[in-house]
Structure 1
Amino acid sequence: MLIGEVSRRCGVSTRMLRHYDTLGLVEPTGRTSGGYREYSADDIRRLFHVESLRTLGLSLSETKRALDDPDFTPADLVGDLIRHTRRRIAAEEELLGRLERVDAASPAEWDDVLGIVTLLHALESESAARRQQAVLAQSGTTSLPVEALVQAILSEDDPNVAGALQWSLTRVAGRGLAELAVGLDADEIAVRRRATTAIAEIHTPEATAHLGRALADPDVTIRGLAALALGSRGHLDSMHALVEMVVEGRRDVEAAEVLGRLTTVAPSADDVASALQDRLGNTEDVSTRLRITQALAEIPGTAARQALERLTQDGDRTIASTAAAIVNLQDRGRSRRREGSDGRRNAFQGD
């Protein structure tokens, strides 16, 4: 069979057949009287073997070795091909993911595309400073790859970079919340903490609902993050967790302040004061009792005031003096407000 017919039947170009011949990969058995290459049935069979091996990713030299070396064992080569193929697929998937993130940002101009690609590259940098700079450098008009920002937030260890990422995410008005919420169900505690911290910065009803889920997390830090955010928004479900934070000394000052704000929204101040007093009566630990005493200073109302007055007589001098100082400060504040009110009343009457 002449080279032209072999090319038509086998789908291999005549140029490639000549190249195979030059390499000694598929050499035609004979020549015609005119000097044309003439392929036998065995030559055609070898050609099919070559093409089959090449579909597996073998190079031409590897293909020749596989067919000609009697000591060749394919297992090692196939294993290498598998590893190479996996690396190539991973690289292609990474490229696909990057393209999808660029597409999801809906860039309008090539400058937007270049800005997004630059940001994506920077987010992969080992330098925290470079990651932070790249996020902060985004202009207000640039489209942002929300999915990439969320993934970066959920994996970012550096607090400065995390803060920059959260700031950037606030620019897209709540987008990315669903992806962040997925982080609340992660097995890794660190990921759930990052997700909760980021969601706490989003002030929408949906974000609040997700924080309610975080309030039941087994990790005390996550519960605390959710409680502070929910309490600041006036959600009563956070009260128990906030009281626990005071008792246990976990961001107790912030928790006490949020409890004070919570009383202006819904439960009565006396309910919060009662919850704190219940814990006060169930512990002898001086540090815990002192934190509760200080927290009562943030709670308005009669019950908290009466509890502080009783604590001025506490057997522990530190607690007693702390309660007394709080009571005196409250009294002076009331006196100044009364004097100010009297002054305004007198001025009005004078007019």
Structure 2
Amino acid sequence: MLIGEVSQRCGVSTRMLRHYDTLGLVKPRGRTSGGYREYSADDIRRLFHVESLRTLGLSLNEAKRALDEPDFAPADLVGDLIRHTRQRIAAEEELLANLERVDAASPAQWEDVLHIVTLLRGLESESAAHRQQVILSHNGIASLPVEALVEAILSEDDLNVAGALHWSLARVAGHGLEDLAHGLDAGEVAIRRRAAAAIAAIHTTEATVHLRRALDDPDATVRAYAALALGSRGNIDSIPALLEMVAEGPRDVEAAEALGLLTTISPSADDIVEAMHTTLDHADDTPTRLRITQALAEIPGTAARRALSRLTHDRDRTIASTAAAIINTQDHGRRRRPTPSHTAPRT
């Protein structure tokens, strides 16, 4: 069978058949009287073997070794092919994900596409400074790929980059919130913390719903993110978690300020003071009792004042002196507060 007929029947170009001949991969054994290549049945069979091996991803040299070397071990080569194929599939899936993100951003012009691709590549940088720069340099030319931002938020360890990502996500008016909320259900605590911190930066009703759910998280840091955000929005559901933060630290000052805000917008001041006093009575270590005493300074009203007055007689001299100093400061502030003048109108 001549080369043209082989090409037509086997679907291999004449150029490739000549290349196989040069490599010694499929070398026709016969020649016509005119010097043309003539393929035998064995040559055709070998050609089919070569093409079959190539469909598995073998290179031409690997296919030749597999056919010509008796001690060739196929298991090792197949294992390598499996690893390489998985790597190629992962790369293709990453490409597909990026294309879908670009498409979701609805770019109007190629300039938009290039800007989004630059952002996506920047998010993959090993340099935290570069990741932050790329995020902050977005100038609104194209819509942000929300899915990519959420994925970056849930995996970002650098606090500065995370802050930039929160800022960027806040600019898209709550989009991506549901994907972030899935992070609250992650088994890995670091992901739940990142999700809670990001949701805390979103000021929507839906975000508040998710933050209330985060108050039940077993991790204290997740609860703290949720409680501080909810407390700043006047949500009284955060009170138990804020009281816990005051007692345990380390963000007791922020928690106390949030509790102080809550007492000005809800009739819960007496209940908060009572809960703080109960916790203080049951605590047996000075640092915890001191944090609670200091937190009472942030609570307005007579209930907190009475609690501080009682603490000036506490058995622990540190607690007593701290309570006295707080009262002193409050009284001094009241004395220095200017009184309104009542000037008679001119006639």
- Per the normalisation by structure 2, the TM-score is 0.93
The match for 1:347 among 316, 338, 343 is: 343
Aligned residues between the structures: 347
Greater Cα shift, 122-131 or 24-33: 24-33
| Alignment check: 8 A CA contact 2:105 2:142 kept | no
- Compared CA separation, residues 141 and 11, structure 1 to 2 (3 A): closer
**Deviation, structure 1 residue 38:** 2.7
Secondary structure at 1:57 match in 2? coil
Aligned to 1:118: 118
Gaps of 5+ in 1: none
Q: Distance in 2 between matches of 1:287 and 1:14?
A: 86
| 1:239 partner amino acid | I
Aligned to 1:61: 61
Aligned runs of 1:1-351 on 2, under 5 Å?
Answer: 1-335=1-335, 340-341=339-340, 343=341, 346-347=342-343
**Deviation, structure 1 residue 244:** 1.0
Gaps of 5+ in 2: none
Q: Distance in 2 between matches of 1:295 and 1:27?
A: 89
| Alignment check: 8 A CA contact 2:290 2:319 kept | yes
Q: Distance in 2 between matches of 1:312 and 1:198?
A: 42
Q: Distance in 2 between matches of 1:197 and 1:177?
A: 12
**Deviation, structure 1 residue 334:** 4.2
Secondary structure at 2:18 match in 1? helix
- Compared CA separation, residues 73 and 325, structure 1 to 2 (3 A): closer
**Deviation, structure 1 residue 16:** 2.2
| Alignment check: 8 A CA contact 2:228 2:255 kept | yes
**Deviation, structure 1 residue 199:** 0.6
Greater Cα shift, 152-161 or 254-263: 152-161
Q: Distance in 2 between matches of 1:289 and 1:72?
A: 76
Q: Distance in 1 between matches of 2:293 and 2:345?
A: 42
Secondary structure at 1:328 match in 2? helix
Q: Distance in 2 between matches of 1:5 and 1:288?
A: 91
| Alignment check: 8 A CA contact 1:2 1:36 kept | yes
| 1:283 partner amino acid | A
**Deviation, structure 1 residue 336:** 5.3
| 1:324 partner amino acid | A
| 1:120 partner amino acid | L
Q: Distance in 2 between matches of 1:79 and 1:284?
A: 63
CA offsets per residue over residues 313-340 of structure 1, 9 Å max, x none?
Answer: 2233332232223223333444555x62
Q: Distance in 1 between matches of 2:141 and 2:170?
A: 14
CA offsets per residue over residues 115-166 of structure 1, 9 Å max, x none?
Answer: 2222222222222111111111111333212222222222222111111111
Q: Distance in 2 between matches of 1:75 and 1:272?
A: 70
**Deviation, structure 1 residue 51:** 1.0
